[in-house]
Chain A
Amino acid sequence: MAEINCPICNRLNKDEAERCWYCQAVLHPEKKNADGSSDWLDGFRQENTETPFEESNEASAGSDESPEDVPDWLARIRQREQLEHGGEPEQNPDGEKDTLDWLRSAVGNESPTESNTFKPAEVNEPAPTESDNDADWLGKLQSWQEESSEPNKSPAPEHPFEQEPKPSFSGPSNQEPDWLNEFKSEAAQSEPLPPEKQPDDSSTGDKPSPENISAFEQEPKAPIAEEPIIEDSIPPTDAIGFSIPEGNVVKPSSPEPDWLTDFQSLDETKDLADQVMPKPAVEEPVKAPFSGRDIMDWIDKDRSTPEEKPENAVEQVEVPQGTDEGIEPAKLPSWLQALRPDKSKRGIAGSTTSSDLNQKSPLAGIEGVLQDSVIGQFYTRPQTYANTLKITPEQENHLQRLQNIAGEARWEAQESVESKRQSSILLKAVVSLLLIGVIVFTVLTQKNSLVEPTMYSQPVVETFNIISALDPAKPVLIAAEFDSGLYGELKWSSESLLQQLMARNIPIAYLSTTQAGSTLFQATITDLARKNQDYSLADHTLNLGYLTGGTVGLQALANDPRGTLPLTTLMKPAWTDTPLQNTEKISDFSAVIVITENADTARYWIEQVKPSMGKTPLLVVISAQSAPMLQPYYDSGQVNGYIAGESGGTAFEKMAGVEGSSTSHFSAYQSTLILLVVLIFVGGMISLVLSTPSPERSDKNQS
């Protein structure tokens, strides 16, 4: 008598049996009942014939039974028989198997010896031949069934799992088992399947029509790896709201469900884990809705098309099939896999009510197979996390402003600064070579200046007149108020004036409020005195040294010169037996001459000392950079005359009729300035043409 394997629970059944003896699945799904009765078992039968190719192989593989091929359920039954008749289950040789035998003995599973799956108990009964095996086991099976169908009578199970009610299969099909009737009544009340589960030719109505049921039985052609179904239930989430991948869900600690026991032997040659639990396609890890990188992206994104992604766009939340760290994945038969709703539907909340149903329904012990009757109560639409933030118009403005600030900031990248520095050093070298070249050429060739200065400015003329009219008997006070920086220019500009004073033997007293002024001035008049032997420095000059305190010192000098500077730099009394012996006050000097490159210093002398000078003229020798600022004081009469820079010195020398340093360097001075004018003009025109106007600089100082 031929036997076939049940497509669902993989147990051997008689070929002509319509339904599997154990799980009532239809053994011959293709041989549908001729009168189309809506017996739900047809579905199971139909399912059986459509088992995937591998399973049919298994069925055929199971015909020449070797101990490995004895179906689990049969082995279990035999074992129980032995127990009842005082036999001992055989001990497995290797340790690892011992630890799993108790499970096998409990579940009677015969799956192959894959390490991470439950291994069938090794039944040491001689391998029965196929034909007599079928007759015996069916008979025994039926007798066993009658015993177990009376719940109270079943002896206390020795093994913990035995207390589980065994499915009571009443012999031939017309005596329908109780659980089947209940299931029928149950199915009549259950709501229609959720829309996603509706097969295409879904029929309406709440009674589970064969088609509906067939949807359960319909064994997918290939292992389940289809498009993930958008979950209805709230996915189990961790503390901060990210949905936890299925594998990480800690399953409620319910006892091992019976369905594990009905695993048919799978193709050993292939990786069983893949067959049982096919790995889903690698999903993108669930992104935290607010991960750092995303925040920056939405700023960079071109705001011109914020609508690209509708706000309520639903992100396909992929729930990767992970494996628990501690608990090995349950090995589900492919038929059960098809039956089972999408794993993620089984919320923790849902599992408790579904376990009550499983106790009573034919699928007792099969967890999560049946949809709860009140699914809607527990599942709400999953919270979708859109990866774009809701941006209010005000935030839009802030973003715009931030963009502007960032855009306007001119942090120059290091490389551009480096290349800019190289080009500026090169351009600076060219400019310096040009300037130095012109100066060297004119100094060496002593060429005359292009244009002789014929126009003498009024202040220079006034100065010349005042110097020419000085009384030789009265001393002149010179303030050497310059730093070393522009000493060269001031030395050339004041040279001819000092020579005029020396030529007329006028005594000179000098001081300085800067640290190096009096020292440098002493060096200057020492050089000049070498050219004018008649003028003895010791008799005619007096170094009053360094006047401290800036403006405060000048006030003190203006009020009481003798008390402020009592000694010379040689520590001798300055006001006795010297040219200053007749000088009591500042106004007793014939003139006060300030030599400085700083307009402020000149201003201090004008503001602090001039008021105490009475009729004594105040003359200034100033550098070209400060001349424009001295002009107001000359115009208001506070300064009687001034010489400004190289051109002023040259004009003074022309009037005095002497050839001093200013005149000898005037051609180099003039040609260099003209070259500089050309360079700046050309540079300016190039800048105008090349560089683009920057918006910020156009509103330099908004009013």
Chain B
Amino acid sequence: MRSPIVPIIGFLTGIIILAGYFVPSPVLEAIRTPMLDWAVILSGVAGLIAIFHLVFGVHGRRLRDPEKSHVFSFIVILVFMLTVAAGIFFGINHTGFQKVVTAIQMPMETSLMAVLAVTLAYSSLRLLQRQRNWMGFVFFIAVVLYLLVNSGIFALVTDITALRGLVAGISQAPLAGARGILIGVALGSLLTGIRILIGSDRPYNS
């Protein structure tokens, strides 16, 4: 039999924090602010547990699994332990420890985005193969047009006021669709959140 305590806790937490949005009451605010803080703490602790599970659970098990490749997992565990040791030994604000971000993480993540540029450029060549319908064709034209707008090449025609207005209008055109999509996504989020608050959907294990 599923215990009712867990859904009740979820429901009460949600109602109190949600009420804070609509009922500006000091008493409610006094209760809500620490509860939000606790949520932040729990989110951080969950991050610690997930990282521990990633390094020693997932990659630790792959090291013990003869079929899987060991190189990737061994490096992950080794670098993780070196980084944590350096962080605890030097402290988080030590310039040496900051190099972990500025000299290792940032160069590699930026390089990945650079490689993504080539990957997406190559993928764009087959755009009309993948989406062969009206929507795909308009998408193709829009990509080409806005790349030209971003490249600033239309500066050539800025002398002609009419064209200047057209280019301005073209820059504005995505606004209409973006608004419609954002409103739609907000409606979906609203209903999904309500289903969780009333206990219909339970992503947690009750």
Answer yes or no: A and B touching, Cβ < 8 Å: yes
Binding site for B on A (CB under 8 A): 424, 427-428, 431-432, 435, 449-455, 457, 483-488, 516, 519-520, 522-523, 548-550, 552-553, 555-556, 559-560, 569-570, 624, 628-629, 631-632, 635, 645, 647, 650, 666, 669-670, 673-674, 676-677, 679-684, 686-688, 690-691, 693-694, 697-698, 700
Nearest-Cβ distance from residue B200 to partner chain A, whole angstroms = 23
Q: Which residue of A lies closest to B157 (CB)?
A: A455
B83 contacts partner chain A, Cβ-Cβ < 8 Å: no
Nearest-Cβ distance from residue B71 to partner chain A, whole angstroms = 22
Q: Which residues of B contact A556 (CB under 8 A)?
A: 33, 36-37
A-B contacts, 6 listed (Cβ < 8 Å)? A450-B153, A483-B109, A484-B105, A549-B40, A673-B148, A687-B128
User: B112 and A680: CB pair below 8 A?
Assistant: no
Interface centre among A455, A516, A520, A688 (most CB of B within 10 A): A455
Cα(A544)–Cα(B143), bound, Å: 40
Interface residues of B in 136-190 (CB under 8 A from A): 136, 140, 143-144, 147-148, 150-156, 158, 164, 167, 171-172, 174-175, 178-179, 182
Q: Which residue of A lies closest to B125 (CB)?
A: A683
Given contacts A486-B113, A556-B33, A677-B151, contact A629 B43 (CB under 8 A): no
Nearest-Cβ distance from residue B34 to partner chain A, whole angstroms = 10
Binds A, one of B55-63, B73-81, B114-122: B114-122
Main secondary structure of the interface of B (DSSP, over half): helix
Q: Which residues of A contact B148 (CB under 8 A)?
A: 673-674, 677
Contact of B110 among A488, A631, A691, A693 (CB under 8 A): A488
User: A548 and B43: CB pair below 8 A?
Assistant: yes
User: A424 and B122: CB pair below 8 A?
Assistant: yes
User: A552 and B39: CB pair below 8 A?
Assistant: yes
Interface string of B63-104 (1 = CB under 8 A from A): 000000000000000000000000000001100001001100
Given contacts A670-B153, A677-B151, A681-B144, contact A520 B106 (CB under 8 A): yes
User: B153 and A548: CB pair below 8 A?
Assistant: no
B2 contacts partner chain A, Cβ-Cβ < 8 Å: no
Instruction: List 6 tightest A-B contacts by C-beta distance, closest first.
Output: A683-B125, A549-B40, A484-B109, A673-B151, A628-B174, A687-B128
B135 contacts partner chain A, Cβ-Cβ < 8 Å: yes
User: A691 and B129: CB pair below 8 A?
Assistant: yes
Given contacts A484-B106, A670-B152, contact A635 B124 (CB under 8 A): no
User: A680 and B129: CB pair below 8 A?
Assistant: no
Q: A559-B33, A632-B175, A680-B124 are in contact. List 17 more A-B contacts (CB 8 A).
A: A452-B155, A485-B112, A485-B113, A488-B110, A520-B106, A548-B44, A628-B178, A631-B178, A670-B152, A670-B153, A673-B150, A676-B124, A680-B125, A680-B127, A683-B127, A687-B125, A698-B132
Q: Which residues of B contact A519 (CB under 8 A)?
A: 98, 101-102
Q: Which residues of A contact B178 (CB under 8 A)?
A: 628-629, 631-632
Given contacts A455-B164, A484-B106, contact A435 B151 (CB under 8 A): no
Contact of A451 among B44, B119, B156, B164 (CB under 8 A): B156
Q: Which residues of A contact B124 (CB under 8 A)?
A: 676, 679-680, 683
Contact of B105 among A435, A516, A674 (CB under 8 A): A516
Cα(A124)–Cα(B155), bound, Å: 130
User: A683 and B110: CB pair below 8 A?
Assistant: no
Cα(A698)–Cα(B134), bound, Å: 8
User: B172 and A631: CB pair below 8 A?
Assistant: yes
Q: Which residues of A contact B39 (CB under 8 A)?
A: 549, 552
User: B102 and A676: CB pair below 8 A?
Assistant: no
Nearest-Cβ distance from residue A241 to partner chain B, whole angstroms = 48
B131 contacts partner chain A, Cβ-Cβ < 8 Å: yes
User: B93 and A570: CB pair below 8 A?
Assistant: yes
Nearest-Cβ distance from residue B57 to partner chain A, whole angstroms = 21
Cα(A52)–Cα(B144), bound, Å: 96
Cα(A650)–Cα(B122), bound, Å: 27
Contact of A688 among B117, B128, B147, B182 (CB under 8 A): B128
Given contacts A549-B39, A631-B174, A632-B175, contact A569 B118 (CB under 8 A): no
User: A435 and B117: CB pair below 8 A?
Assistant: yes
Contact of A428 among B109, B119, B158 (CB under 8 A): B119
Q: Which residues of B contact A457 (CB under 8 A)?
A: 171
Interface centre among A486, A684, A693 (most CB of B within 10 A): A684
Given contacts A457-B171, A484-B109, A485-B109, contact A680 B151 (CB under 8 A): no
Nearest-Cβ distance from residue B158 to partner chain A, whole angstroms = 4
Q: Which residues of A contact B25 (CB under 8 A)?
A: none
**Number of chain B residues close to chain A: CB under 8 A:** 57
B133 contacts partner chain A, Cβ-Cβ < 8 Å: yes
User: B147 and A487: CB pair below 8 A?
Assistant: no
Q: Which residues of B contact A682 (CB under 8 A)?
A: 125
Contact of A694 among B33, B117, B132, B143 (CB under 8 A): B132
Contact of A487 among B98, B110, B127, B144 (CB under 8 A): B110
User: B147 and A680: CB pair below 8 A?
Assistant: yes
Interface centre among B122, B144, B154, B178 (most CB of A within 10 A): B122
Q: Which residues of A contact B132 (CB under 8 A)?
A: 691, 693-694, 697-698
Cα(A632)–Cα(B124), bound, Å: 27
Q: Which residues of A contact B112 (CB under 8 A)?
A: 485
Q: Which residues of B contact A485 (CB under 8 A)?
A: 109-110, 112-113
Q: Which residues of A contact B156 (CB under 8 A)?
A: 451
Contact of A569 among B93, B101, B174 (CB under 8 A): B93
User: A548 and B175: CB pair below 8 A?
Assistant: no
Nearest-Cβ distance from residue A301 to partner chain B, whole angstroms = 33
Q: Which residues of B contact A698 (CB under 8 A)?
A: 132-133
Cα(A328)–Cα(B23), bound, Å: 101
Q: Which residues of A contact B140 (CB under 8 A)?
A: 680, 684
Q: Which residues of B contact A560 (CB under 8 A)?
A: 33
Contact of A645 among B105, B106, B109, B150 (CB under 8 A): B150
Q: Which residue of B lies closest to A693 (CB)?
A: B132
Q: Which residues of B contact A486 (CB under 8 A)?
A: 110, 113
User: B125 and A427: CB pair below 8 A?
Assistant: yes
Cα(A435)–Cα(B110), bound, Å: 17
User: A428 and B36: CB pair below 8 A?
Assistant: no
Q: Which residue of A lies closest to B134 (CB)?
A: A700
Q: Which residues of B contact A570 (CB under 8 A)?
A: 93
Nearest-Cβ distance from residue B193 to partner chain A, whole angstroms = 13
User: B33 and A549: CB pair below 8 A?
Assistant: no
Nearest-Cβ distance from residue A570 to partner chain B, whole angstroms = 6
Q: Which residue of A lies closest to B126 (CB)?
A: A687
Nearest-Cβ distance from residue A97 to partner chain B, whole angstroms = 68
User: A522 and B98: CB pair below 8 A?
Assistant: yes
Cα(A242)–Cα(B127), bound, Å: 59
Q: Which residue of B lies closest to A636 (CB)?
A: B179
Q: Which residue of A lies closest to B118 (CB)?
A: A432
Cα(A432)–Cα(B120), bound, Å: 11
Nearest-Cβ distance from residue B183 to partner chain A, whole angstroms = 10
Q: Which residue of A lies closest to B148 (CB)?
A: A677
User: B110 and A451: CB pair below 8 A?
Assistant: no
Given contacts A486-B113, A631-B178, contact A451 B102 (CB under 8 A): no
